[in-house]
Chains A and B, each alone.
Chain A
Amino acid sequence: MKLTRVASLAAGSMALMMVASACSSAAATPAPAATAAPAASTAAGSGSTGAASAYTPPTDAGAAKGKTIAIVSKGEQHQFWQAVKKGALDEAAKLGVTATYTGPATESEVDKQLTMLQTALSGNPAAVCFAALDSKAAGALLDQAKAANIPVIGFDSGVDSTIPVTTVATDNIAAAGVEADKLAGLIGDAGKVAVIVHDQTSQTGITRRDGFVNEMKAKHPNIQVVDIQYGAGDPVKSADIAKAIMTKNPDLKGFFGANEGSIKGILNALKETGNEGKIVAVGYDSGQQQLDAINSGVEAGAITQNPVGIGAKCVDAAIDAVNGKTLPKNIDTGFYWFDKTNINNPEIQAVLYK
């Protein structure tokens, strides 16, 4: 028994030391490094970025008629991906091509996604649309696609390679910058805000976090981003994290949730602590709970991407690539800031999903 006591003491004190050292290092947590200068965001209004909107989609399939376009996405579970899938399959049906849609069960299964890409390439499709979970992991397979003359269209998050003929995506840095400006305006351009992100490894997680933080630093010096935490896109885990942030910062004025699961967690936390309406929350994407919260004013507003448009445009780009048309390096599918005042506008309603 004596041995046990000594061991428990040792283990206990070690754990405490770990905690203590981690605490002190946390105090000096640097803000995430800037990966790119945030695009000058249009401060007012809906503002879809017009960076590469010169792209005109094809009106017929041409040489791609009846051929197969393989789409390898990040999954099917989130409603966002369901909307992308719908956009892609509808556009394919409209133009007379066959589209297949696959994706791994969760957004951390990089290896499974690569297997799916491999399977897709083995089917010798006319073109491949690929939303990489890890923008660098697919190098060998992309070379294989190039060798087989299968054009690759990147979508949602970029693929870190010169092989994709174009990338169809939301400009997340600019969108998160608009989000920062909106939140700043709502809390009087001063005070403490916190961010909950789905993860710190994916392109969307990194760009939305950095786009938001950098815009705050550059344009809103009186706003302090006091905490950035990661909730895996799980509404319950994100709620517990949000409550911990509120405990730590009783004077918190605003929250930014960087994807649907994160903002859901924030909304749950505000509800469970009775802070609805007291802390300003802004979010990303749609989903029933978020739309309800925006309609009732509990959530001030959100950025919506255009998931249906992402799906449709990647099929368009694939068809163009098969027909040998030159494509712009990036095809921006746009984003909108929406709140109680414009949620019912037709152009917003068209891109929201439940």
Chain B
Amino acid sequence: MQSTPTPAPSRVQSLLKGESIQRLLALGALVILLVFFSIVVPHFASTNNYIDILTATAVNGVLATGVTFVIITGGIDLSLGTAMTFTSVVMGLVSVNMGLPLPIGILAAFAAGALVGLTNGFLIAKLKLPPFIATLGMLYVTLGMAQVISDVHPIYFETIQPSFQQFFMGKTIFGIPNIVWVMFGGAAVAWILLNRTILGRYTFALGSNEEATRLSGVNTDRWKIIVYVVDGLFVGLAGIVIASRMASAQPGLGMGYELDAIAAAVIGGTSLSGGEGSVVGTIIGAFLISTLRIGLSVAGVPDQWKSVITGLVVIGAVYLDILRRRSRA
């Protein structure tokens, strides 16, 4: 609290500059892809299809927004997907099995996400486990716990379904499902946190030079834990969003979602070595992934080729990032 974070203004400025270029690249690629699919693939260019792409982005967009904070500090969160499942199961238990009002179930999902984040943060900041290992362990813990507390049964939201699913999947603005607005709302909150608060400044400082940040009097352990808790809150939000799409909590799901989210952040210019990243870029990255997937699906491209192409896009994005760094250095 006592002093301002370490990076000198000039470095911050250069960071922002580099970041905006990567963001433009990702945005450019997204626009090119949309235009390409719209021209080449029959039926792709329709309002409904664009809305489908928005809807398909919601879960990944929220997860990716959360993990962006963590990646900027130089960390990683592999427990994203299964922790998301855990939070949706907790919400199901509270709202369906215990019959408590829906807002309490939603709060419980956030609390469950924050708890996972707190645990991750504690393991990393206090016990000094590498983030990769700590969150890998929590991947299995949350997957198992989701199944333990649900007794490996899906929880169906019939009792709360009309209001719950209506609230999140209803189309109140421009015919776009509310979960898309939830994603944008979450991203807006994340943008403010990252760019306008001390949390954001310390997030970047932790990733740029943790030691210097600590020496300047910042309680780095505490801020690191806070960053993982913020990530956990977004995981809770993703749990609510995915549960609303299925009108149920499915304890077997979740593995693999973390990779999509990390890919979205990386495509959007968030650097895995820390210190760089943006919420806008991450959201663009998430759109790029779902545009690619849906575009290829509408085109009828076989599944195996979809995977190959998605992988090449991730590799290409990271390579561009490396080129950009090299040309800057």
Q: Which A residues form the contact surface with B (CB < 8 A)?
A: 1-4, 7-8, 11-12, 14-16, 18-20, 22-23, 25-27, 29, 75-79, 82, 105-106, 200, 227, 229-230, 232, 234-236, 239-241, 243-245, 247-250, 264, 268, 272-273, 287-289, 292
Q: With A12-B29, A229-B303, A236-B242 known to touch, is A3 a contact of B323 (CB < 8 Å)?
A: yes
Q: With A11-B320, A12-B32, A239-B245 known to touch, is A106 a contact of B255 (CB < 8 Å)?
A: yes
Return the chain A residue nearest B322 by Cβ.
Answer: A7
Report the bound CA distance from A29 to B296 in whole Å.
14
Check if A82 sits within 8 Å of B152, measured CB to CB. Answer: yes
Check if A16 sits within 8 Å of B36, measured CB to CB. Answer: yes
Report the bound CA distance from A272 to B180 in whole Å.
13
Whole-angstrom distance between the Cβ of A289 and the nearest chain B Cβ:
7
Which of A235, A244, A250 has its CB near the most chain B CB atoms (within 10 A)? A244
Check if A7 sits within 8 Å of B319, measured CB to CB. Answer: yes
Q: With A77-B252, A272-B177 known to touch, is A240 a contact of B294 (CB < 8 Å)?
A: yes
Whole-angstrom distance between the Cβ of A299 and the nearest chain B Cβ:
15
Within 8 Å by CB of A4, from B52, B152, B323, lies B323
Check if A29 sits within 8 Å of B153, measured CB to CB. Answer: no
Report the bound CA distance from A248 to B299 in whole Å.
7
Check if B169 sits within 8 Å of A264, measured CB to CB. Answer: no
Check if A289 sits within 8 Å of B247, measured CB to CB. Answer: yes
Within 8 Å by CB of B21, from A4, A229, A289, lies A4
Within 8 Å by CB of A77, from B251, B297, B308, B319, lies B251
Check if B32 sits within 8 Å of A236, measured CB to CB. Answer: no
Q: Which B residues form the contact surface with A (CB < 8 A)?
A: 21, 25, 28-29, 32, 36, 40-44, 46, 48-49, 52, 55-56, 59, 143, 147, 152-154, 156, 158, 169, 177, 242, 245-248, 250-253, 255-256, 290, 293-303, 305, 308-309, 312-313, 316, 319-320, 323-324, 326-327
Q: With A77-B152, A287-B154 known to touch, is A20 a contact of B40 (CB < 8 Å)?
A: yes
Return the chain A residue nearest B140 by Cβ.
Answer: A105
Report the bound CA distance from A26 to B308 in whole Å.
14
Return the chain B residue nearest A288 by Cβ.
Answer: B156
Check if A247 sits within 8 Å of B46, measured CB to CB. Answer: yes
Check if A288 sits within 8 Å of B294, measured CB to CB. Answer: no
Check if A227 sits within 8 Å of B300, measured CB to CB. Answer: yes
Q: With A12-B32, A240-B56, A247-B52 known to touch, is A234 a contact of B299 (CB < 8 Å)?
A: no
Whole-angstrom distance between the Cβ of B142 and the nearest chain A Cβ:
12
Whole-angstrom distance between the Cβ of B324 and the nearest chain A Cβ:
5
Within 8 Å by CB of A8, from B28, B250, B309, lies B28
Interfacial chain A residues near B56, Cβ < 8 Å: 240, 243
Sample 6 A-B pairs with CB under 8 A, ordered by A number: A22-B299, A23-B40, A23-B41, A23-B300, A26-B305, A105-B143
Q: With A19-B296, A23-B301, A288-B154 known to touch, is A240 a contact of B309 (CB < 8 Å)?
A: no
10 additional contacts (CB under 8 A) given A232-B256, A288-B154: A1-B327, A7-B320, A8-B28, A11-B319, A12-B32, A14-B316, A27-B300, A79-B154, A241-B297, A248-B43
Check if A15 sits within 8 Å of B316, measured CB to CB. Answer: yes
Check if A230 sits within 8 Å of B303, measured CB to CB. Answer: yes
Within 8 Å by CB of B299, from A11, A23, A78, lies A23
Check if B324 sits within 8 Å of A4, measured CB to CB. Answer: yes
Interfacial chain B residues near A1, Cβ < 8 Å: 21, 327
Report the bound CA distance from A250 to B319 in whole Å.
39
Check if A19 sits within 8 Å of B324, measured CB to CB. Answer: no
- In the A-B complex, the 9 residue pairs with the smallest Cβ-Cβ separation, listed nearest first, are A77-B252, A244-B297, A11-B316, A240-B56, A22-B305, A26-B300, A230-B303, A243-B52, A247-B49
Report the bound CA distance from A282 to B299 in whole Å.
24
